[in-house]
Chain A
Amino acid sequence: MSEPMPLFEVFVRSKRGLEHRHVGSLRAQDAEMAMQYAREIYTRRQEGVSLWVVRSGDIVASQEEDAAAFFDPADDKPYRQATYYDLPEGVKNL
């Protein structure tokens, strides 16, 4: 076996109403098999009500070294947090 099978990322919705969360990855020859394997590997204990499998190669990801460019601009904007504002004494429900 020279070519490894493609890698898939697995997402599980643990409960209706919650979002799917990434739980791990696996290798499979195609999406259908990835679904079968995911069921065997990641949901043996009723961990979920819904599964997503996505080819890892189809995920576009930011890189750790680019983190500054992506996320630092939020650092100097504390006014986006509610705690930034001083409230007069006694005011409620704000």
Chain B
Amino acid sequence: MAEIQVDVQARRFQERIDAEVRIEPKDWMPDAYRKTLIRQISQHAHSEIIGMQPEGGWITRAPSLRRKLILLSKVQDEGGHGLYLYSAAETLGASRASMIDALHSGRAKYSSIFNYPALTWADIGAIGWLVDSAAIVNQVPLQRCSFGPYARAMVRICKEESFHQRQGYEIMYTLATGSADQKAMAQDALNRWWWPSLMMFGPSDADSAHSSQSMAWKIKRFSNDELRQKFIDQAVPQADILGLEVPDTELAWDEQTQHYRYGAIDWDEFNRVVRGDGPCNRQRLAEHKRVHEAGAWVREAVVAYDRKHQDQSDV
């Protein structure tokens, strides 16, 4: 009896999705759909928050007040993105504390790109240009994700991302059209960030574990390789305008497919970084834990303040 009930519900659920009808938090949904979304949305949130670290380190070292204000605003936006996403995951019944705990224990991941260091000011340009561009390519289709709160969070986030990308490109353009040393610095940043940016789209389709079910659920609309290709097709002409060289000797425009062909991605490196052995994995996590623990007194104070006021209104 109960099983038949679930069957009917499951069928209705999939029919809704097939008809492009959004799922809302109080609707019936399969457990696996809920779990997949909690995993994806919380890891997306962690990426926004951990992503504040490489850029945040440059706020006090920005080369002008203008650049400092811009970077501060951008990093602040990323914190906001994390909060929209944690809230969207909470509509599915995940608690904030459990999500943070999963991050700290290593059960939850975040985008591997943030395990690379931002070594020079040009890296701030390369991150805004490449990393935020890649994030936009990933996030635009998520605005039509089948889960309403995630899709709506993405609409807000995408709107805010476009300045991130432009401020990064502006930094790159300023350096690339500056002195020879500045141009070399921009080229060096591109050299280091190009391949990790391509890895942001995840394993190639042949090796991607979660893709087909997520496609059927319309959480994902394009495959990893399709999104990666889209990013490359956009970024290469932008690099040309900067007068910089993309560090891929096999990169070539293919007249037939109307896409760029590109060289092999070093998946060993990707797997190493995902497993925890990138240049900054330990540092990123340790910093998150440190700040989380250092902020415990604030959370306790908020609760104490609330309790005090409740006691007073009880009188």
Give chain A's interface residues, CB within 8 Å of chain B. 16-17, 19, 50, 77, 79-82, 84-88, 90-94
Known: A16-B22, A90-B241. A79 touches B148 (CB 8 A): no
> Are B241 and A19 interface neighbours, CB within 8 A?
no
What's the A-B contact tally at a CB cutoff of 8 Å? 57
> Are B234 and A93 interface neighbours, CB within 8 A?
yes
Q: List the 3 shortest-distance A-B pairs measured between CB atoms, nearest first.
A: A17-B22, A82-B162, A85-B166
Q: Of B22, B167, B237, which one neighbours A92 at CB under 8 angstroms? A: B237
Q: Is the interface of B mostly helix, strand, loop or mixed?
A: helix
Interface size class of B (residues with CB under 8 A): 20 to 34
With a cutoff of 8 Å between Cβ atoms, the chain A residues found around residue B24 in the complex are 16, 50
**Subset of 19 A-B contacts with CB under 8 Å:** A16-B21, A17-B21, A17-B148, A17-B152, A50-B24, A79-B69, A79-B73, A79-B163, A82-B163, A82-B166, A84-B166, A85-B163, A90-B241, A91-B169, A91-B237, A91-B238, A93-B133, A93-B238, A94-B165
Cβ of B114 within 8 Å of any chain A Cβ, yes or no, is no
With a cutoff of 8 Å between Cβ atoms, the chain A residues found around residue B133 in the complex are 93-94
Give chain B's interface residues, CB within 8 Å of chain A. 21-22, 24, 66, 69-70, 73, 77, 133, 148, 151-152, 162-163, 165-167, 169-170, 173, 234, 237-238, 241
With a cutoff of 8 Å between Cβ atoms, the chain A residues found around residue B69 in the complex are 77, 79
Known: A16-B24, A19-B152, A88-B173. A94 touches B163 (CB 8 A): no
Q: Which of B69, B133, B241 has the most CB of A within 10 A?
A: B241
Q: Is the interface of A mostly helix, strand, loop or mixed?
A: loop
Residue of A nearest to B145 (CB): A17
Q: Of A80, A85, A86, A94, which one neighbours B73 at CB under 8 angstroms? A: A80
Since A91-B169, A94-B169 are in contact, a sample of 19 more A-B pairs with Cβ atoms closer than 8 Å, ordered by chain A residue number, is A16-B24, A17-B151, A77-B69, A79-B69, A79-B163, A79-B167, A80-B73, A81-B163, A82-B162, A84-B163, A86-B170, A87-B170, A88-B241, A91-B237, A91-B241, A92-B234, A92-B238, A93-B238, A94-B162
Q: Of A19, A87, A92, which one neighbours B166 at CB under 8 angstroms? A: A87
> Are A85 and B148 interface neighbours, CB within 8 A?
no
Docked CA distance A37–B241 (Å)? 61
With a cutoff of 8 Å between Cβ atoms, the chain B residues found around residue A91 in the complex are 169, 237-238, 241
Q: Which of A19, A84, A88, A92 has the most CB of B within 10 A?
A: A88
With a cutoff of 8 Å between Cβ atoms, the chain B residues found around residue A88 in the complex are 173, 241
With a cutoff of 8 Å between Cβ atoms, the chain B residues found around residue A92 in the complex are 234, 237-238
| A77: min CB distance to chain B, Å | 6
Q: Which of B70, B162, B163 has the most CB of A within 10 A?
A: B163
